[in-house]
Amino acid sequence: MNKIAYMDYNATAPILPAATQAIVGALKCVGNPSSVHGMGRKARSLMEDARDNVAALVNVRSDWVFFTSGGTEADTLAIKGSGCERILVSAVEHAAILNASKNVEIIDVDENGLVLLEDLETRLKDDPRSTLVSVMAANNETGVIQPVAEIVEIAHRFAAIVHCDAVQAIGKIEFDMQALGCDLISLSAHKMGGPQGIGALVKRPSIKLQALISGGGQERSLRGGTENLIGIVGFGAASKEKTDFNRIKSLRDMLETQIKGLSDEIVIFGEDVARLPNTSCFALEGLMSERQVMALDLAGIMISAGSACSSGKVKASHVLEAMGVGEEYANNAIRVSLGWDSCEEDIEMFVQAYAKLVARVQEKNSKKSDAA
């Protein structure tokens, strides 16, 4: 079989071997964590071990962690459950945040997609309404990292609570919830080598939330329904694994150096600011995203255009639009995202296939200029 280069970790990461092993073990566990008998207690103990691992990953107490079905549910629970009169979110948030409430108010970003702190402050000033500010730790499309501690400082000065969608940051960069001062954070296992369909909302005890699903009072009445034990155990195991992101960053940098060598006109978004070590989002005028995704797919290379996890549909990215990127680039952007199983061969395969696409654009452009 021909080699596949999977380079779409920000959409979903392959499951880490340690998580697979833990899941297989949990499949043999029959008990419901709510049952009081021995097998129920065994299931609960597996669940609580996993909670400890997730808590340690973001440096909080285990009782701050509430398991959900994933990042989307955690985001929705934070926003809807807060009951705040005002919800301020950055323009580059994931759809899970932007669509969590009809009444979100947008905080502007600069040309790199960084939250404009003055805009946040202006919006918070002189408004007595209860407010939740939600800003992501790192962007899923560009990898750009937000100044979370500064955002928290401003929001707290005006008595707003702060939620941070840390789905893309976790496992890729240090994220210490207590040091950053966030009140709520969202996590998702499948972006860090755990299984799909499991995540967590991490909450300071002082923050009161209304449950979206009451059910039988599981997760200390914040999230009803029998817990997804298999997912939780896989999430816990993935939380303990340490991927060498210096190695991943070298691969990402190698890729960027090589593609820049193909054309001076390639634009890499967020290149000059702090970014996740695994993500590269770039465009070349004249090379449509959709065409690239399909051509690379045929060559065995899996990448995405825009935000793949919204629905698999290819459309201009709202993130790039908010950054003021013109249509000629926003419609052409692709995202390459790497992770624990990425290797140099993936980069070589990508650069070889991408070079052919770039050459076709250059050929077309030179024919055009000859004809003019």
Catalytic residues: 309
* Strands of 267-268's sheet in order across: 267-268, 279-283, 334-337
Distance of closest approach, residue 75 Cβ to ligand PLP, in angstroms: 6
Distance of closest approach, residue 142 Cβ to ligand PLP, in angstroms: 11
User: Which DSSP letter does residue 111 get?
Assistant: T
Under the binding rule (CB under 6 A), the answer on residue 168 touching ligand PLP is yes
Helices (H), ranges, the chain: 17-27, 38-57, 71-82, 95-98, 117-124, 148-157, 177-180, 218-221, 229-240, 245-260, 289-298, 318-322, 327-330, 344-371
Residue nearest ligand PLP, CB atom distance: 71
Per the rule left: phi > 0, alpha: psi between -120 and 50, beta: everything else, 197 is: left
Under the binding rule (CB under 6 A), the answer on residue 8 touching ligand PLP is no
Under the binding rule (CB under 6 A), the answer on residue 234 touching ligand PLP is no
Q: 3-state DSSP call for residue 190?
A: helix
Tokens (6 digits) for 195: 């299984």
Find the part of the chain contacting ligand PLP (CB under 6 A) among 66-74, 126-134, 151-159, 355-363.
Answer: 66-74
What distance in Å separates the CA atoms of residue 201 and residue 223, rounded to the nearest whole number? Answer: 10
Pairing of strands 131-134, 161-165: parallel
Under the binding rule (CB under 6 A), the answer on residue 31 touching ligand PLP is no
What distance in Å separates the CA atoms of residue 16 and residue 7, rounded to the nearest whole number? Answer: 15
Find the part of the chain contacting ligand PLP (CB under 6 A) among 33-41, 51-59, 69-77, 263-271.
Answer: 69-77
Find the part of the chain contacting ligand PLP (CB under 6 A) among 71-79, 101-109, 156-164, 214-222.
Answer: 71-79
Query: CA separation (Å) from 85 to 88, 99, 107, 118, 156?
Result: 10, 16, 16, 21, 16
Find the part of the chain contacting ligand PLP (CB under 6 A) among 67-75, 78-86, 117-125, 259-267.
Answer: 67-75
What distance in Å separates the CA atoms of residue 320 and residue 318, rounded to the nearest whole number? Answer: 6
Under the binding rule (CB under 6 A), the answer on residue 188 touching ligand PLP is yes
Binding track, positions 116-155, relative to ligand PLP; x by CB under 6 A: --------------------x---x---------------
Q: 127 near 156, Cβ under 8 Å?
A: no
Near ligand PLP in 288-327, by CB under 6 A: 309
Under the binding rule (CB under 6 A), the answer on residue 331 touching ligand PLP is no
Pairing of strands 104-107, 86-90: parallel
Say how many residues touch ligand PLP, by CB under 6 A.
14
- Pick from 43, 96, 233, 305 the residue near ligand PLP by CB under 6 A: 96
Distance of closest approach, residue 309 Cβ to ligand PLP, in angstroms: 3
Chain residues binding ligand PLP by CB under 6 A are: 70-72, 75, 94, 96, 136, 140, 165, 167-168, 188, 199, 309
